[in-house]
Amino acid sequence: MAPPLVSVPMKKNKKPSLVLTLSAAGLLIGAGSAAYWLLSQRQLSSSDLLVGANIIPGDALFAVSLTTDPQQWQKLREFGTKETQAELDKNLVELRDRFLTNNGYDFQKDIAPWVGNDVTIAILAPAIASKAAPKPVTTNEDAASDQQSMVMVLPVKNPEIAKNILAQPKTLKRGKWIDRIYQGIAIKQSEGQAGENFSAALLDGRFLVITDSPKATERAIDAYKNQTSLATTGGFAENFPKIANYQRFGQFYVNVPTAAKIAAASPNRPLPAQVLAQLQNNQGLAGTMILEAEGIRFKGVSWLNPNSQRVLAVENKAGKMQSRVPAETLMMLSGSNLQRLWGDYILTSQRNPLSPIAPEQIRGGIKSLTDLDLDKDLLSWMKGEFSLSLIPTTAKQDSPDDFRVGLLFMVQTSNRQSAEASIKQLDEVMINQYQFQVQPAKVAGQPVVNWVSPYGTLTATHGWLDGDVAFLVVGAPVTDKILPKPNTTLTSTIPFQQTVPTEPNPTNGQFFLDVERTVKNFPLPTLIPNQQTLLDATRSIGMTSAVSDSRSNRYDIFIALKKVRNTTLLPSPESNKSSYATPPTTSP
């Protein structure tokens, strides 16, 4: 195989932002679908590590490994809707043509006979991520070293064929091929191509390494020979096996401290020094993607830097809140300890411009609205399991302005006396500051307190469950759905059971979202491109998390998806690309 397979133009951004970095990474995951044509036969791997982890330099920013099994790729194309399939197919065709067809290669003839069971694509961190300060004068060589380079590792199942293809590459449209030796390894690289530098080497006859930079090839060889690869990075070898699966579709790895350094170097959104120091405590985030009959499962793990002083509290005490909400619940998020969760959020979010909401804003907002101190008056007694749920109302709506859903917050208190004192303060604020009526009432024989707005509308209700669980309902009056305890709970429903993972167990938190019913009845804010198209393809989402040990967290996520029947084949390389101006015809 010759280097043109990974023809990637060199870009001249000397200081790429984190957004650009992660966008490129996201493109490789979603569109790295070039592997659909780069890959062919499936072989079960006995390794629990990312393929090529012993070759990719340890400071790599991002790496993704994708299966070569064509049946799995076809299975992926069956998920979703006609629209999502058309978008996936468009990306597959564009990347196949870019990496293979446009460079004179045919998958079945040139690639299938020798490629292994997975391929890995990695983005190496630019030199700026490890520099203390930029040089006063920048040369062309310096500019090249500041690029984010790409490395592709392709396991070889037939060394002889791979050697022949590497020895006799396709003729370049411009420039020529040259041969050189580095650390005893033969390298073939292009020369004379404007903006493009390809380099390829065969390591021990087992791995074909292709890069978009000669220096990146040297870095990969150094990592392989000097044992400075991902496989030797702190915590990598210990944590990656936790998410191993021999039927995996793909795997990924993100180098958290390197990503933080790039963000800190960005002139647009620099990270404060204290935030950067805190992020250095985190080392890696990794995941495995598995295709199942009804959707896609992700098994994830994150871990701290082995040298960091920070440790995690192994506190997996969630799992009861979902049994306190009714079957019709649209969304439920639970956790083990709200006070500890807030503390963790502060560590990584305080004065962090990348955080969705600054802790100071949250504290200030609560103080302004309620005159209560978030830490002293509220979180001090919120050390037990908590949950946030959306429950639709079945009551008749008298006007279009009536709430159609109730927001339910529940928390197990560690000190009921302190909790009652704070809640009493809150009642007084509602009376004195907002002119609400605070009215004692009963639901199913249990005492509750209603907040009634000046216009006579029931706005909120609070009370107690099981003696130590405080609850607050805001919006639609759904208190009668939790008092008394519902006969049919969320945990007994088929969507919850089929979506929310049962592992890891015990858990420190779970999440469930019935996407179909939520999107159908309630508008959602747009957070990502093509959001509605993706939501239309999704039935439900579930997640279960746990603290594995003092250094790592585990996450299992399942996305239940719709399916497209009778999927079409991808257009052949000879087909007119303009056919993708409209989606291909598929059966609904």
Query: Residue 275 has what DSSP assignment?
Result: H
First to last CA, the chain: 39
- Name the token pair of 449: 């307190």
Choose among 26, 41, 35, 42: nearest CA to 6: 35
Name the phi and psi angles at 484, rounded to 5: -70, 180
562 Cβ contact list (under 8 Å, min separation 6): 79, 80, 81, 536, 537, 538, 539
Of 134-143, 226-235, 352-361, 420-429, which gets the smallest average pLDDT? 134-143
462 Cβ contact list (under 8 Å, min separation 6): 423, 448, 449, 451, 470, 471, 472, 473
Give the pLDDT confidence score for residue 174 in this predicted structure: 74
Choose among 492, 344, 487, 477: nearest CA to 404: 477
Rounded CA separation 565/586 (Å): 7
Of 271-285, 347-361, 460-474, which gets the smallest average pLDDT? 271-285
List pLDDT tens digits, range 381-392.
999 999 999 999
319 Cβ contact list (under 8 Å, min separation 6): 334, 385, 506, 507, 510
Name the phi and psi angles at 334, rounded to 5: -130, 160
Task: Please state, as a whole number, how many other Cβ atoms lie within 10 Å of the Cβ of residue 298.
Answer: 18
Give the pLDDT confidence score for residue 103 in this predicted structure: 66
514 Cβ contact list (under 8 Å, min separation 6): 329, 330, 331, 495, 539, 540
Strands, E, within 244-281: which ranges?
A: 250-255
Rounded CA separation 201/515 (Å): 47
List pLDDT tens digits, range 236-252.
999 999 999 988 999 99
Question: In whole angstroms, how far apart are CA 456 and each of 406, 438, 443, 453, 460?
Answer: 18, 11, 19, 5, 12
Query: Residue 454 has what DSSP assignment?
Result: T
Bridging pattern class, strands 405-412 and 437-443? unpaired
Of 109-118, 352-361, 388-397, which gets the smallest average pLDDT? 352-361
Concatenated DSSP letters of 65-108: EEE--HHHHHHHHHBS-HHHHHHHHHHHHHHHHHHTGGGT--II
Of 115-119, 348-352, 473-477, 510-514, which gets the smallest average pLDDT? 348-352
Give the pLDDT confidence score for residue 359 in this predicted structure: 86
**Residue range 496-507: mean pLDDT, rounded:** 96
Of 146-150, 269-273, 287-291, 444-448, which gets the smallest average pLDDT? 269-273
Query: Residue 257 has what DSSP assignment?
Result: H
List pLDDT tens digits, range 565-574.
766 666 666 6
pLDDT band at residue 263 under the 50/70/90 scheme: low
Q: Which amino acid is residue 468, in one-letter code?
A: D
Rounded CA separation 476/366 (Å): 22
pLDDT band at residue 367 under the 50/70/90 scheme: very high
Matching residue, tokens 């805190």: 278
- Name the token pair of 426: 């809150």
- Name the token pair of 45: 């791997």
Choose among 80, 133, 149: nearest CA to 515: 80
Query: Is pLDDT at 377 greater than 50 in this prediction?
Result: yes
Query: Is pLDDT at 495 greater than 70 in this prediction?
Result: yes
- Name the token pair of 310: 């920070």
pLDDT band at residue 290 under the 50/70/90 scheme: very high
Query: What's the pTM value of the predicted model, to 2 decimals?
Result: 0.82
- The percentage of residues in the chain with a pLDDT greater than 90, rounded to a whole number, is 49
Query: Is pLDDT at 485 greater than 50 in this prediction?
Result: yes
Q: Are 59 and 219 in contact (CB under 8 A)?
A: no
Query: Is pLDDT at 162 greater than 90 in this prediction?
Result: no
Q: Are 495 and 540 in contact (CB under 8 A)?
A: yes
